[in-house]
Structure 1
Amino acid sequence: MYLLIVTIAREWKLEGIWNDLALIFALGSAYIPQVARLVRGSVLAEKEKEYVEASRIIGESNLYTALRQILPNCISPIIVHGTVRLGLVLLIIAALSFLGLGSPPPTPDWGSDLALARDHMETKPLIAVFPGLAIAYAVLAFNLFGDGLRDILDPRLVDR
């Protein structure tokens, strides 16, 4: 899916921000079903709780109940899911740039830096080590941040 949309953007000679928007559209369209399934599951679980029933009994509107009761309790899994997916998206963007389908050459990118360093691996290996470590540390940081948020925001965890 990513390769198809980014390749079409290249064939249409999209430059600058339009190329980046095509990449964002490709990644967004791939992950929207997962996020929608997560949101739907969270809302279905929350709407069966007693406090939602109490809100209905006292006569509050459905919109008020959805925005003030259900949404605040569904937002934490969405935030955690988003932070964990950021690492994966960063890895995909770096891989597409490594293949030459990312941002155009004047734009600095870790994936394109790795692609340029491929020719000098035998003589100067540190040229490839630093962009690779930057990608690895950034992905690790996003995943650890998401895990920490899950520990903080998940009320079902008892050992804090």
Structure 2
Amino acid sequence: MRRLFHFIAQASVAGALLASACGAAAEGTAPLYSLTTPAPLLDPELSPRQPLLNYGPLQLSAATSTTGTGSGLSLQAGHQWFARAGIGHSLENSEVLSFGGGYRFTSGQAVSMHVTRQIGQERLGLAVRYDWTRTYLRLAYESPTRAMSGPDTLRFSAGVRF
């Protein structure tokens, strides 16, 4: 009986030591938060996707839209000015024509404006955005479609990138 008690005591001490060692090893590894946090949605006029043509300071790139307005072209002139023109088709918005442009400051901040026109439904949208390295502010205006008779929409958004 004494041997059994001694064996149980040793097993519980060994288990406690093993459990504390596993906890200490877990503290030694760095967490990878990118597995659980969503990636920030980037505006197409701020981040050209695939370079098509480079000529000195001019860069022509393909750009895709995360807002459902289709794909387009991005024209970048120099290191600070950028512009975008696009046309696209989606199930909910039909044909959309969009133009945008902006300026990047040397500190990494950027200001941009984006105009969207929905073809055939007399719908117009305008968005002005100011980006810092980790945060952004956006002011957007949209007129309603003919099918939805309602007031014009003015939205203000602020966000933080993780």
* Same fold at TM > 0.5: no
Q: Please indicate the TM-score interval, normalised by the length of the shorter structure.
A: under 0.3
TM-score (norm 2): 0.24
Greater relative contact order, per chain length (Cα 8 Å cut-off, separation 6+): 1
Greater C-alpha radius of gyration: 2
TM-score (norm 1): 0.24
